Amino acid sequence: MSILIDEKTRLLVQGITGGEGSFHAQRCMEYGTKIVGGTSPGKGGTVHLGVPVFNTVDRAVKETGADTSMIFVPAPFAADAILESADAGLSLVVCITEFIPTADMVTVLRYLSGGKTRLIGPNCPGLISPGKSKVGLMAGDIHKPGRVGVVSRSGTLTYEVVSQLTALDIGQSTCVGIGGDPIPGSTFAEILMLFEQDTETDVVVLIGEIGGTLEQDAAETIKNNMSKPVVAFVAGNTAPPGRRMGHAGAIISGAAGTAGEKIRALREGGAVIVENPARIGRSVAEALAKGSK
């Protein structure tokens, strides 16, 4: 099994005729993802990359049966693109766009609250269920189908971890990049629970970083709700307070945002803590050998 996407996913690409949208839509198609259409206002009725283009998401969903959207719309319009997908009834929206104003995301999350639409991102690499489907930027060739889930705030570290796992002949069920913005559409805790409910995920890798309290919330979920081992690494041990390090959300603005505090919380929650990212693959192998905690 996998979470969120699989070989049945019917993907709509918002911004499909733009440079980034076109490039990554083509890569997703080559991986085997079923892209059923795209949107680009003013270009409705045309065909791009062999799929129909529509002016609106609502029209696209009605004509193609799309259930998932991937967004490459520029930042000033991305929040509206997310809301348009939710209004059209899509169950999953993956927003790749970065630099969306935080105030816009506050409005988006309030609107999505209690609804059927799950948002991954923004400012994220997307997700992949190896051998089934990918929605986003992740390189398909480094992934291998298997039973380890990966959830991360860092795209680069995700690729490093997956490379280690695949080199050790350890496959992945689904890899999810939740994004590096201060307000993500989905949290560590939410994705962990999806992996907990997936009967074909045996171990989960969590890759955190400085800033916010997502890792502390994840620690509570691991402690109270997870039966599966969680291997965790938190980047940013040497980051100075008050300075953004990479992602918009990677800034220490209080004691809770430090790597040390996150590591302490995760360890107390029952996660297996890895201090050196080069050891993550080996730690997963050891967790698989031990089985459920």
Please give the single-letter amino acid code of residue 282: R
* Exposure on the CB side of residue 123, measured as CA atoms within 13 A: 20
Set 24, 48, 143, 247: catalytic member: 247
Distance CA(35)–CA(13), nearest Å, equals: 7
Sign for the CA dihedral angle at 73, 79, 80, 84 comes to positive
Helix (H, G, I), strand (E, B) or coil at 177: strand
At 53, list the tokens: 């283009």
> Which residues on adjacent β-strands are paired with residue 120?
94
Distance CA(277)–CA(63), nearest Å, equals: 46
Using an 8 Å Cβ cutoff, are 53 and 38 in contact?
A: yes
Residue 143 is a catalytic residue: no
Nearest to 248 by CA among 175, 189, 183: 183
Positions annotated as catalytic residues are: 247
